[in-house]
């Protein structure tokens, strides 16, 4: 067995061997102590990185703080031996990519496949508005649209009797037939309810198109993937004006939450890999409106461009990009207590006593917020209650954190020391929420709005292009707003697609989810 001696002991042995009799053991002790502290900090830092990596790979855990006098049910460890698993390493050989010459071939379109006769027909007979009494139809013009009801594909068949009406002098005749109602896609067999089902299944239920087509195939309805992709693309363009109006309404507020999350995107300029893009999410907490905006990066220029006209409160996490708003006139940036609390929660494993003391004070702040919600306080009452109860807790918390650093109870480079530094450097921004009763203590509301994106990432892995990522952001904005207002997204989107082509531009606001509640929910 080989023993490795610490550096300072080796220095002492060498010192004695060289004939020097005096050894300053105090200096050696201090050197060894300093060396051990550095090693311990390095180990803690690596452990914290490993914990964050596990959280990214296997999902987040609840950041629930339980006080010493409370009981909590322990959960079994997922990996009791801290082994993430074993893999077999297989030798691979890199094969040069085969380049095939592309030949453009023009093929005549074979025509649209007829809708299966086995599907139920819902016949709708449309009569002309003109008087046809005494006239006999000379034929029928039939238009079929493929529609959807939960668990059933069916055909909505519009039957329009056609009439020939002679003129008064009997020399001429005119054709009389009812007009078709406005359709979302005039030259498509897809009806409003089917388009809605495709979009809701994809962006709410996270069901890829190829899986939906497999379900349709079991009902003896074969639709090409390219055809459905075209329907979805055309429907997106149809919804764009409503989304643009929604975007302007979200940004026209005096209080916004902002956060961002990643999305993998295929990029034609990056071969054999994906580009990491970002969804920047803006949330109006007062009117419960969410806005997703796709951008290719995470730089400060993206929120700055989006919010160039914004004036009011801007609540964010501690990301450096948001510091650009510190110097913007009319904007009051402030920070989120959930992010500060998370730092102490993660450091709890390395300094439990100090972490429990800090987390207990932060918990008092959240108890105050909970009480205000339970009592249905008005914004002015919330402001006054925070002034009486939250500000003393904040002052106590600031003194506690400062004392821990000044008395050297906590090492600045330790995980707990970094948590203190994160909090104290943003202290003024963390206290802004107490100045106005409409403000929230944290950004948790916007984080709840972002959660569907995580499910989307697991089911789709990546977006097909930057344009498709922005299209997805458009629907995420509208569907998230539906969820915030407890609206069935299928009911709302079907209504929008049925009405969009017959709605005047000045009335488009009536089709927004937040207005659907008041105007159309009971219809």
pLDDT band at 35 (very low <50, low <70, confident <90, very high): low
Average pLDDT over residues 406-423: 85
The first and second tokens of residue 257, run together, are 């939450």
pLDDT score recorded for residue 282: 96
pLDDT band at 151 (very low <50, low <70, confident <90, very high): confident
pTM for the whole structure:
0.76
Residue 34, pLDDT > 90, answer: no
Cα 341 to Cα 323, 359, 382, 492, distances in angstroms = 20, 7, 22, 38
Residue 395, pLDDT > 90, answer: yes
CB proximity list for 110: less than 8 A, separation 6 or greater: none
Average pLDDT over residues 238-246: 96
pLDDT band at 342 (very low <50, low <70, confident <90, very high): very high
pLDDT score recorded for residue 104: 58
pLDDT digits (tens, 9 = 90+) for 271-289: 878 899 999 999 999 999 9
CB atoms within 10 A of CB 266: 16
Please report which residue ranges of 375-509 form alpha helices under DSSP H: 379-385, 391-406, 415-425, 427-431, 444-460, 466-484, 489-499
Average pLDDT over residues 479-487: 93
CA distance 63 to 509: 40
pLDDT score recorded for residue 318: 85
Range of weakest confidence among 45-59, 322-336, 403-417, 504-518: 45-59
Between 28 and 375, where is the model more confident? 375
Nearest residue to 48 via CA among 419, 499, 340, 469: 419
pLDDT digits (tens, 9 = 90+) for 446-475: 888 887 777 777 777 788 889 999 999 999
Residue 6, pLDDT > 90, answer: no
Average pLDDT over residues 501-517: 91
pLDDT score recorded for residue 23: 59
Average pLDDT over residues 253-278: 90
Please report which residue ranges of 18-161 form alpha helices under DSSP H: 25-58
CA distance 117 to 151: 18
pLDDT digits (tens, 9 = 90+) for 54-85: 666 665 555 666 665 554 434 334 334 444 34
Average pLDDT over residues 238-261: 95
pLDDT score recorded for residue 522: 47
pLDDT score recorded for residue 460: 72
CA distance 119 to 211: 21
CA dihedral 360, 365, 370, 373 (to 10 degrees): 180
Average pLDDT over residues 306-322: 93
The upper half-sphere exposure of residue 419, i.e. CA atoms within 13 Å in the direction of its Cβ, equals 27
pLDDT score recorded for residue 149: 80
pLDDT band at 519 (very low <50, low <70, confident <90, very high): low
CA distance 209 to 62: 33
Partners of 277 in beta bridges = 263
CA distance 429 to 447: 19
Average pLDDT over residues 241-253: 96
pLDDT score recorded for residue 73: 38
Residue 518, pLDDT > 80, answer: no
Using a 10 angstrom Cβ sphere, with 0-12 exposed, 13-18 middle and 19 or more buried, the burial of residue 457 is middle
What is the distance in angstroms between the CA of the first residue and the CA of the last residue of the chain? 84
Average pLDDT over residues 16-39: 61
Range of weakest confidence among 43-47, 340-344, 439-443: 43-47
pLDDT band at 226 (very low <50, low <70, confident <90, very high): very high
**Across the chain, what does the average pLDDT equal?**
83
């Amino acid at each position: 067995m080989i023993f490795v001696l610490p550096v300072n002991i080796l220095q002492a042995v060498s010192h004695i061997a060289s004939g020097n009799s005096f050894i300053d053991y105090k200096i050696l002790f201090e050197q060894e102590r300093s060396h051990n502290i550095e090693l311990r900090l390095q180990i803690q830092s690596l452990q914290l990185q490993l914990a964050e990596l596990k959280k990214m790979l296997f999902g987040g855990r609840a950041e629930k703080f339980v006080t010493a006098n409370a009981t909590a049910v322990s959960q079994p460890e997922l990996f009791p031996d801290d082994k993430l698993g074993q893999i077999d390493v297989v030798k691979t050989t890199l094969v040069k990519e085969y380049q095939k010459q592309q030949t453009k071939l023009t093929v005549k379109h074979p025509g649209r496949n007829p809708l299966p006769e086995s599907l139920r027909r819902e016949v709708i007979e449309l009569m002309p508005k003109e008087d046809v009494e005494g006239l006999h139809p000379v034929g029928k013009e039939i238009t079929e649209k493929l529609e959807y009801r939960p668990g059933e594909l069916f055909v909505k068949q519009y039957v329009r009797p056609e009439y020939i009406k002679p003129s008064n002098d009997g020399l001429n005749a005119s054709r009389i037939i009812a007009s078709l109602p406005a359709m979302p896609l005039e030259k498509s067999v897809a009806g409003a309810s089917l388009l809605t089902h495709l979009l809701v299944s994809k962006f709410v239920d996270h069901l890829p198109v190829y899986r939906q087509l497999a379900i349709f195939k079991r009902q003896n309805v074969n639709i090409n993937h390219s055809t459905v992709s075209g329907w979805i693309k055309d429907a997106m363009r149809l919804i764009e004006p409503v989304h643009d109006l929604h975007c302007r309404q979200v940004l026209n507020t005096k209080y916004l939450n902002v956060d961002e999350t990643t999305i993998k995107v295929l990029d034609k300029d990056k071969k054999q890999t994906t580009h990491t893009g970002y969804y920047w999410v803006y949330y109006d907490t007062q009117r419960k409106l969410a806005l997703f905006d796709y951008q290719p990066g995470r730089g400060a220029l993206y929120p700055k461009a989006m919010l160039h006209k914004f004036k009011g409160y801007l609540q964010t996490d501690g990301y450096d990009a948001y510091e650009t708003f510190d110097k913007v006139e009319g904007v009051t940036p402030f920070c989120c207590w959930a992010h500060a609390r998370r730092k102490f929660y993660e450091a709890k494993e390395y300094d439990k006593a100090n972490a429990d003391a800090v987390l207990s004070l932060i918990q008092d702040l959240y108890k105050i917020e909970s009480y205000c919600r339970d009592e249905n306080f008005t914004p002015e009452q919330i402001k006054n209650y925070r002034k009486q109860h939250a500000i003393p807790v904040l002052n106590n918390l600031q003194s506690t954190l400062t004392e821990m650093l000044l008395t050297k109870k906590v090492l600045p480079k330790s995980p707990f020391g970094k948590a203190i530094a994160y909090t104290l450097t943003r202290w003024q921004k963390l206290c802004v929420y107490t100045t106005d009763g409409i403000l929230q203590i944290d950004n948790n509301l916007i984080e709840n709005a972002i959660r569907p994106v995580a499910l989307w990432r697991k089911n789709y892995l990546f977006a097909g292009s930057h344009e498709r990522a922005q299209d997805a952001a458009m629907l995420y904005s509208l569907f998230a707003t539906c969820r915030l207002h407890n609206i069935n997204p299928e009911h709302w989107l079907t209504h929008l697609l049925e009405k969009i082509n017959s709605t005047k531009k000045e009335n488009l606001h009536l089709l927004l989810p937040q207005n659907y509640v008041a105007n159309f929910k009971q219809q």
